[in-house]
Amino acid sequence: MQITWIGTYRESPSGAAMTAELDGAINEEEPIIVTGWIPHWKFFEYDLKMLEDPKGVYGGEEEIRTFVRKGLKEDMPGAYTFFDQFEWEPDHLQNVMLKIEEGMDEQKAAKEWVENNEDLVNSWVEGAEPGDGATVKVPYVAWADVIASSNVVKYVMENKLDYKVELIQVEPGPMFASIADGSADAMVGAWLPSTHADYYEKYEGEFEDLGVNLTGTRNGLVVPEYMDIDSIEDLIDDE
């Protein structure tokens, strides 16, 4: 059996081509394998599964963590409380990602999601002091998941806590460096223990780790549910 295999990395230019190939294969129920990660909007759009990875070829399960600059708790206690309480599930994030992927404005997508998840959002802002218009700088990388999460953070902080949030698009290295040197205030897109391990080790101790904001993240190989394959090892056995 011939299987189409498409590899891409995050939001690389090949991402659109991968989606087109995936869409075409699924419409014809043809076998296809793509590199992928959870959370991602395509798991909302298509009926997909990630192959088991018993040998940890793709690094195993990861988590997304929140880091803030040292001194944020004293300077902006309300912002600190919010970031400390910010936590959600992959389905929440993927929902926002899909809205943005389908062309909705990023802040409009955040607004719509917040309005449909008021109980969860209220748990993030509970006990947080208002910001009185203070500016919070949030660096982010141009990955679909981090774009979505950072825009939800911006919408909630501006509309629930009276902060002004400045989103700053950077590469992963500067994202970590800006929190470590205090030129930015907080980030919600640190993938650990594998994806951002080098940056974490480089700047460890120079920022405050507020813990996990999302669990269940993974990198790996993704196939449509209709394919009779469940593990990367099945690919090896078929060769």
CATH number for position 8: 3.40.190.100
User: What is the reported pLDDT for 20?
Assistant: 80
Question: How many domains does one find in the chain?
Answer: 2
Query: What DSSP element (H or E) covers 67?
Result: strand 61-68
Same domain, 205 and 234: no
Same domain, 46 and 70: no
What Cα–Cα distance (Å) separates residue 194 from each residue in 56, 61, 63, 149, 215?
11, 9, 9, 20, 14
User: What is the reported pLDDT for 234?
Assistant: 83
Same domain, 73 and 159: yes
Bridge partners, residue 32, by sequence: 4
Same domain, 151 and 206: yes
Same domain, 69 and 167: yes
Same domain, 175 and 211: yes
Same domain, 126 and 205: yes
Predicted TM-score (pTM) of this structure:
0.80
Distance of CA 58 to the CA centre of its chain: 17
CB 163 within 8 A of CB 186: no
CATH number at residue 76: 3.10.105.10
Q: Which residues of 207-238 are buried (b: 16+ CB within 10 A; e: fewer)?
A: bbebeebbeebbbbbbbbeebebeebeeeeee
**CB proximity list for 118: less than 8 A, separation 6 or greater:** none
Same domain, 224 and 198: no
Same domain, 29 and 106: no
Same domain, 179 and 82: yes
Rounded mean pLDDT for each run of 10 residues along the chain, 239 residues in total: 54 60 88 83 84 82 94 98 96 91 95 98 98 98 94 98 98 98 98 93 98 87 92 73
Q: Which domain holds residue 53?
A: 4-59+219-238
User: What is the reported pLDDT for 36?
Assistant: 79
User: What is the reported pLDDT for 226?
Assistant: 94
